Amino acid sequence: MGDLYLIRKNLFRKKTRAVLMMVAIFVAFLLFGVLGSFERAFNSGETGASATRLVVNNKINFTQPMPIAYLNRVRAVEGVRVASHWNWFGGYFQEPRNFVISFAVEPDTYLDVVGTDYAFVPEEKAAFLADRGSIAVGDAVAKKFGWQVGDRIPLTSNIFTNRSTGNRTWDFTIAAIFTPARDLVGTDVVFFHYEYFNETRSFGRDFIGSIVLETTDPALNDKVADAIDALFANSPFETKTVTEAAFNKAFAEQLGNITLIVTLVVGAAFVTILMIVGNTMVMAIRERTREIGVLKTLGFPNGRIFRMVLGESLLLSFIGGGLGLAAAYGACIFLAPLVGGFAPGLTLALPVVLAGVGFMVLLGFVTGVIPAMNALRLNIVTALGRD
């Protein structure tokens, strides 16, 4: 009779209690898997940022505009390979709940700057660059709404008004659908021509949201950033130039400290589960005091009894935790299309799984070591005489 057989029989001798403990562990690891994956995907803009890419914003806040005239002055700074710009559109498709991350850009230079992020079919890219009334759509957006190249689609802004039509809607022809060119790049975004947008919007003409540029060498980033900010010091629109990683982090923090939120939620869940499972395991072993005494009488060494008791808590942790991570994998697949704009590439990644396995071991050890030590120290006479 092997130890694994005895561990399994002891664990499930009271099936209802075992199942309830597994459900508690299941919920904790489901939360850990989903929230941990979301936090990793949400912060992917920081970890996946280009080392040579800088973003220039209004010094007051990145929501404040800057004159488009700044662009050529930035291009003239030594160490700048290419510079472009974008303007936030605040768009949605048909209904406000169908939010679309949308930017008006200078297409040729912008695609040069972000060329390592997105993959285009050459013919579609050429069509987008040639037609200023066209739009380039990320494949995540295209799949969400069922769009195809050639479709005529309306985008409505919650900020700007189209003075040509008198409403907030612009009509675009889909010229290109692009895909991610590398990991941790989201495609829940669309781009259209700034020139067309600038001519038709009712206010803010000749102003832009941000300048994005690429330096010739990452070692020049600080020097270039300082030179750009010095150009516009004491002007009505002073600037603040940061790396793309820093900008993405600041943008993400507008929604709150996601890392702290995830840590607090998952930490609270694990502490609660630790207390529940630990207390239950102590009670379960105490109920089997006589049986442990019998095992010692039959010659079971203390080390074997210790391993068997600790094995119960580890088996419990791995069953509940494994099922929880499996459910988290399915949940991430379901949630990925819904949160792609904020958490691109949402999936149960290997680092999250490995961390989960580590927590399973830790949870099993912490909840099982005290009852295992009690069983180890148990005297045979005391065990057989206890009611």
What pLDDT, in 10s, does the model give residues 86-129?
Answer: 999 989 999 988 889 899 999 999 999 988 889 999 999 999 99
**Residue 59 belongs to a domain:** no
- Looking at the fold, whether 27 and 69 belong to one and the same domain comes out as no
**Residue 23 belongs to a domain:** yes
Q: From CA 131, how far away is CA 152, in angstroms rounded?
A: 13
- Look at residue 89 and give its three-state secondary structure: coil
Structure tokens at 155: 């985008």
Structure tokens at 28: 């904790």
**Residue 339 belongs to a domain:** yes
**Among the listed residues 105, 106, 110, 172, the one whose alpha carbon sits nearest the alpha carbon of residue 141:** 172
Pairing mode, strands 152-157 and 189-193: unpaired
- Looking at the fold, whether 316 and 210 belong to one and the same domain comes out as no
Burial (CB count within 10 angstroms: exposed 0-12, middle 13-18, buried 19+), residue 370: middle
How many CB atoms lie under 10 A from the CB of residue 224? 24
- Looking at the fold, whether 231 and 110 belong to one and the same domain comes out as yes
Q: 236, 271, 286 — which closes off a domain?
A: 236
Expressed as residue numbers, the domain containing 77 is 65-236
Per-chain mean pLDDT for the chain: 83
- Looking at the fold, whether 283 and 157 belong to one and the same domain comes out as no
What pLDDT, in 10s, does the model give residues 312-371?
Answer: 888 888 998 899 999 999 988 887 766 655 566 678 888 889 988 998 888 888 877 766
177 φ, ψ (degrees, to nearest 5): -120, 115
Cα distance between the two ends of the chain:
27
Asked if pLDDT for residue 286 goes beyond 70, the answer is no
Q: 236, 267, 301 — which closes off a domain?
A: 236
- Looking at the fold, whether 98 and 30 belong to one and the same domain comes out as no
CA torsion, points 344, 348, 350, 355, in degrees to nearest 10? 120
DSSP at 201? B
- Looking at the fold, whether 276 and 371 belong to one and the same domain comes out as yes
- Look at residue 183 and give its three-state secondary structure: coil
Structure tokens at 270: 């694990």
**Residue 18 belongs to a domain:** yes
Q: Are 224 and 79 in contact (CB under 8 A)?
A: yes
- Looking at the fold, whether 91 and 168 belong to one and the same domain comes out as yes
- Looking at the fold, whether 366 and 283 belong to one and the same domain comes out as yes
Asked if pLDDT for residue 171 goes beyond 80, the answer is yes
- Looking at the fold, whether 105 and 231 belong to one and the same domain comes out as yes
Burial (CB count within 10 angstroms: exposed 0-12, middle 13-18, buried 19+), residue 146: exposed
**Among the listed residues 45, 101, 44, 38, the one whose alpha carbon sits nearest the alpha carbon of residue 258:** 38
**Among the listed residues 55, 49, 50, the one whose alpha carbon sits nearest the alpha carbon of residue 242:** 55
Q: From CA 196, how far away is CA 194, in angstroms rounded?
A: 5
What pLDDT, in 10s, does the model give residues 211-259?
Answer: 999 999 989 999 999 999 999 999 999 999 998 877 776 666 555 566 6
**Residue 289 belongs to a domain:** yes
Backbone CA torsion sign across 265, 266, 272, 273: positive
- Looking at the fold, whether 353 and 276 belong to one and the same domain comes out as yes
Highest-confidence range of 49-53, 129-133, 345-349, by mean pLDDT? 129-133
Q: From CA 167, how far away is CA 154, in angstroms rounded?
A: 12
Q: 181, 202, 236 — which closes off a domain?
A: 236
Provide the number of structural domains found in the chain: 2
- Looking at the fold, whether 215 and 94 belong to one and the same domain comes out as yes
**Residue 51 belongs to a domain:** no
Burial (CB count within 10 angstroms: exposed 0-12, middle 13-18, buried 19+), residue 303: exposed
**Residue 252 belongs to a domain:** no
Q: From CA 125, how far away is CA 175, in angstroms rounded?
A: 7
Q: What are the distances in angstroms from CA 293 to CA 7, 22, 280, 309, 381?
A: 16, 28, 20, 13, 8
- Looking at the fold, whether 232 and 356 belong to one and the same domain comes out as no
DSSP at 219? G
**Residue 242 belongs to a domain:** no
